[in-house]
Amino acid sequence: MNQFNTHLLDLSNEILFIILKKLGNVDVLYSLFGIKNQRIDALLEDDVFTNILNFITISSIIDAKLDRFCTYILPKKHNYIRKFILDAAYMERILRAGDYPNLTYLELFKFTQEIVLRNFTTFRHICQHQITDLMLHNNDEYRLGKSMQIYNRNVYASIMDIFQSLKHLTILASPLNEYPILHLWSVPSTTYFVSTLTKLCINVFLFNDCLTLLNGRLQQLTIFKVNFQGLCKDISIYPNNVS
């Protein structure tokens, strides 16, 4: 084979798949769809290639590229996608592009309270029964005071009401701001956090909030990573059966 005249399609399928796995999956989809080449079309239907589509990462993409991705590519391949890693600004456009029957993992950057109030409710059919892993890179700003109780109700309670099949929940702070933290003072024991959770990574207000979380709310919990801001003098709540 003349190395100066080698075409991409001269390579074997095995080598092509190795190359595709090294590339970003969004770029692969965008570049290969619509070429109208029989061999490329066959590759796109191959089980090896569809395994590459188990997760899609979209963090920064120009609008023109996103439009083609949402109107032409995702409707044809939505059933292969198991994971979405998205900038929250693209969430609505992406989720409207397909049904995603196998989607179970959702990771959102630049997450805000408005995402809960608007998009999570809009896509309740996906969030409620399918999503088992939720990771939020929170972009809301923490302010001490009454707003913390409102945020608890609007965000934490709403997430637990919507995501009924959730097993893993991680909420991370942005590089610039700490997000509004969870505070369980005077909150009924049935409020927040579905019993199916096995992993929880979150920030809370007081050490007592940690103890409250472990006092029968999360019986399936096996991984618990928590940051708290302070201690409370009255530490009268202790976790049961926690190892």
Residue 38 included in any domain: no
| Residue 190, CA distances (Å) to 89, 159, 173, 239 in order | 32, 14, 26, 15
The band of 157, judged by pLDDT with boundaries at 50, 70 and 90, is confident
Residue 197 included in any domain: yes
Structural domain count of the chain: 1
CA dist 194 and 152 (Å) reads 15
In which domain, by residue range, is 161 found?
104-230
Residue 237 included in any domain: no
Which has the closest alpha carbon to 8: 18, 77, 73?
A: 18
Instruction: Out of 9-18, 27-36, 233-242, give the one with best mean pLDDT.
Output: 9-18
Residue 187 included in any domain: yes
Residue 32 has pLDDT above 80, yes or no: no
Residue 240 has pLDDT above 50, yes or no: no
Upper half-sphere CA count for residue 205 (Cβ side, 13 Å): 17
Residue 60 included in any domain: no
For the chain, what is the mean pLDDT?
77
For 83-132, the pLDDT digits (tens) are 888 888 889 988 999 999 999 999 999 999 998 888 998 899 999 999 99
pTM: 0.76
As a whole-number percent, the residues of the chain with pLDDT over 70 amount to: 65
Residue 55 included in any domain: no
Residue 24: the pLDDT is: 55
SS3 content of the chain, % helix, strand, coil (to 5): 40, 20, 40
Phi and psi dihedrals of 157, rounded to 5? -65, -40
Within 10 A of 187 (CB to CB), how many other CB atoms are there? 17
Residue 70: the pLDDT is: 84
| 137: three-class secondary structure by DSSP | strand
CA dist 113 and 207 (Å) reads 24
Which has the closest alpha carbon to 226: 211, 215, 240?
A: 211
Mean pLDDT of 170-177: 86
Which has the closest alpha carbon to 93: 121, 123, 114, 117?
A: 123
Residue 133 has pLDDT above 60, yes or no: yes
Residue 200 included in any domain: yes
Residue 150 has pLDDT above 80, yes or no: yes
The band of 236, judged by pLDDT with boundaries at 50, 70 and 90, is very low
Residue 155 has pLDDT above 50, yes or no: yes
As a whole-number percent, the residues of the chain with pLDDT over 90 amount to: 21
**Of 23 and 107, more confident:** 107
Residue 52 included in any domain: no
Residue 59 has pLDDT above 90, yes or no: no
